[in-house]
Amino acid sequence: MASIFTQLQSFRRNESHETDASVVADSFTSESLILTETIDVYPTNAPYKRKVSPANAEEFNHSSTSRKNLVIMIFLIVSVKWQKELFKDVEIDTSQPPYVFKCQLFDLTGVPPERQKIMVKGGLLKDDADWAKLGVKAGQKLMMMGTADEIMKSPEKGTVFVEDLPEEEQVAAVGHTAGLFNLGNTCYMNSTLQCLHSVPELKSALIDYSHSGRSNDVDQTSHMLTVATRDLFSELDKSVKAVAPMQFWMVLRKKYPQFGQLHNGVFMQQDAEECWTQILYTLSQSLRSPGSSENTDAVKALFGIELNSRIYCQESNEESSETESVYSLKCHISQEVNHLHEGLKHGLKSELEKASAALGRSAIYLKESRINALPRYLTVQFVRFFWKRESNQKAKILRKVDYPLELDVYDLCSDDLKKKLEAPRKFLRDEEGKKLGLKVNEKSSVPKENDVKMSDAEGSSNGGGEPSVAPMEEGEKETQMTGVYDLVAVLTHKGRSADSGHYVGWVKQENGKWIEFDDDNPKPRVQDDITRLSGGGDWHMAYIIMYKARVVSM
């Protein structure tokens, strides 16, 4: 903490108190002070304080008051952000412990000191911390989290309907989980977490995770990030009030330092897709079953997409094939792409340059991929950002690309997978026909209506050549993939660059309603709001979307 005044001549101070906020006047070797701003002077033998400004500093220097009876108090003026309110010109008496400062904030906000969480250098502000070691500077904006004491409620005046409640209370009434506080350009992280938090099977895998079950090849920071994810998801499930993801954020920056980049002392905005990918990669390393002969990867089971690719060179007629596992499909955007399906087809075709043994030089190869195994949750990234050399940033493609609430990927699958999907797809059509009112013989061997449902059991397609079937509990009917998916989450971006703007998560609840998770401010939304996120302007537009497989029990 820099001192707010200087001396005309050099002065001596005890090194152990070099940045103390209160300075006893007789510790100086010089009698003359030059002030850079007004300070408070407290005579220790009088019950009053005196203002000393740059204008009257000379008078102070030549006053007859004994310097030994003066203590110069240095006050820091800061601002404090709490929820949607910003309190400016809050004084910190750095000669007093932080608990006194928290009491000031209690008067302003109604949040008791024991509930206050204030972010400073090194973590949370402790009641007995040393201001000199915290690095708090004049003009700094501090962020505080915490809930105020409840105000006495007036007597109830009859029944209150949900429609009559304020928006935030409406959200609580529909049974959604909590929002996440923005800790300073962390909306990219919050929106990612809200989307992943909507996957119940992932939460189950995290609950089952423990340090004792950790594989030896999982590093400590991966373990810490997995535990932080588990604990944060658990906290979200238990509250409808906003949660501060501080522990997760600190571990994320430790595991992936790029998320801790600073610009002018402020944490920078980051790319949500990169955050999504890194979190899933870490969880895929941790959430494995060490006792399983196949070393089951829970993340791969839920999100993994197996692609079979044909790679050929038109010049040399060379041809090869490869199989790979990815966690998302790419929707490439061009002038010809108006719909998600068109972009996905473009994304499954690409050109690459590599050495040709037949030609003895580099050549262009065409790569065409097909889906060979489907995931329980299908993630799609809209490739909206590209590197613009002129502005040295990730510029954004604003073109509108429509996406459906129900996605059928049958024609993107390999021939082998298509054959495996035929029977489940017919079964699904028949069952949906019955839902529309067709009569069914009660003694028929056809499964009951609730045998055809959205997936709510753990597991997913396996990664091999077997049919894409979810694991079953004992006595449960076999569930099979149909290639049909329902939209359950959308991560949007508003702005012109991936490293700026604002990210928001939109998540479908179990009751079928949608919630917009805008950091700590969840809002109920209708289905039409979701379909309007397709782009074409400066409004929120879909960047990552997630679909849930529609399976049948046969």
**Residue 91 and residue 118 in one domain:** yes
**Residue 28 and residue 68 in one domain:** yes
From 170-174, 181-185, 483-487, the region with the lowest mean pLDDT = 170-174
pLDDT at 376: 97
Q: 262: helix, coil or strand?
A: strand
418-455 pLDDT per residue, tens: 999 999 999 999 988 887 766 544 444 444 443 444 34
Residue 19 pLDDT more than 50? no
179 part of a folded domain: no
Top pLDDT among 441 and 415 is at 415
Domain boundary among 112, 129, 145: 145
- Per-residue confidence band for 325, with pLDDT thresholds at 50, 70 and 90: very high
118 part of a folded domain: yes
Token digits of residue 274: 């990169």
pLDDT at 25: 38
Distance CA 305, CA 103 (A): 54
Token digits of residue 403: 């996406």
Distances (CA, A) of 6 to 50, 72, 140, 388: 19, 13, 21, 47
227 part of a folded domain: no
Distance CA 249, CA 260 (A): 9
363 part of a folded domain: no
Average pLDDT on 333-348 reads 93
Average pLDDT on 362-371 reads 93
Average pLDDT on 401-409 reads 97
Spacing of C-alpha 319 from chain mean position: 42
Token digits of residue 399: 């073109």
99 part of a folded domain: yes
Distance CA 186, CA 256 (A): 14
From 3-17, 236-250, 527-541, the region with the lowest mean pLDDT = 3-17
Domain boundary among 73, 107, 131: 73
Top pLDDT among 98 and 60 is at 98
116 part of a folded domain: yes
**Residue 35 and residue 58 in one domain:** yes
- Quote the strand ranges of 139-287, DSSP E: 141-145, 262-263, 266-267
Distance CA 506, CA 173 (A): 18
Spacing of C-alpha 39 from chain mean position: 43
463-474 pLDDT per residue, tens: 333 334 344 444
Distance CA 54, CA 35 (A): 5
234 part of a folded domain: no
**Residue 18 and residue 58 in one domain:** yes
Domain boundary among 73, 104, 125: 73
307 pairs with which residues across the strands?
A: 324, 371
Residue span of the structural domain in which 58 resides? 5-73
Distance CA 330, CA 378 (A): 11
Q: What is the mean pLDDT of the chain?
A: 78
Token digits of residue 207: 């609950």
Whether the Cβ atoms of residue 436 and residue 487 lie closer than 8 Å to each other = no
Distance CA 28, CA 31 (A): 7
Return the top range by mean pLDDT from 216-225, 337-346, 452-461: 337-346
Top pLDDT among 510 and 289 is at 510
Strands 329-332 and 377-383: parallel
**Residue 81 and residue 139 in one domain:** yes
| Residue 361: HSE in the Cβ half-sphere, 13 Å Cα cutoff | 3
**Residue 83 and residue 66 in one domain:** no
pLDDT cut 90: percent of the chain above it: 44
From 95-104, 201-210, 509-518, the region with the lowest mean pLDDT = 95-104
Whether the Cβ atoms of residue 237 and residue 244 lie closer than 8 Å to each other = no
What's the CA angle centered on 261, arms 519 and 206, to 5 degrees?
55
Q: What is the 3-state secondary structure (H, E, C) of 454-489?
A: ECCCCCCCCCCCCCCEECCCCCCCCEEEEEEEEEEE
Strands 75-82 and 141-145: parallel
Residue 95, judged by CB atoms within 10 A of its CB (0-12, 13-18, 19+), counts as: middle
Residue 286 pLDDT more than 50? yes
**Residue 83 and residue 135 in one domain:** yes
126 part of a folded domain: yes
Catalytic residues: 187, 502
From 153-157, 268-272, 381-385, the region with the lowest mean pLDDT = 153-157
Report the domain count for the chain.
2
End-to-end Cα separation, the chain, in angstroms: 69
**Residue 108 and residue 56 in one domain:** no
Q: In this structure, what CATH number is given to the domain that contains residue 81?
A: 3.10.20.90
Return the top range by mean pLDDT from 24-28, 42-46, 54-58, 190-194: 190-194
Token digits of residue 385: 């950002």
pLDDT at 415: 96
pLDDT at 354: 86
224-264 pLDDT per residue, tens: 999 999 999 999 988 888 999 999 999 999 999 999 998 88
Residue 61 pLDDT more than 80? no
The pTM of the whole model exceeds 0.75: no
What's the CA angle centered on 504, arms 503 and 509, to 5 degrees?
155
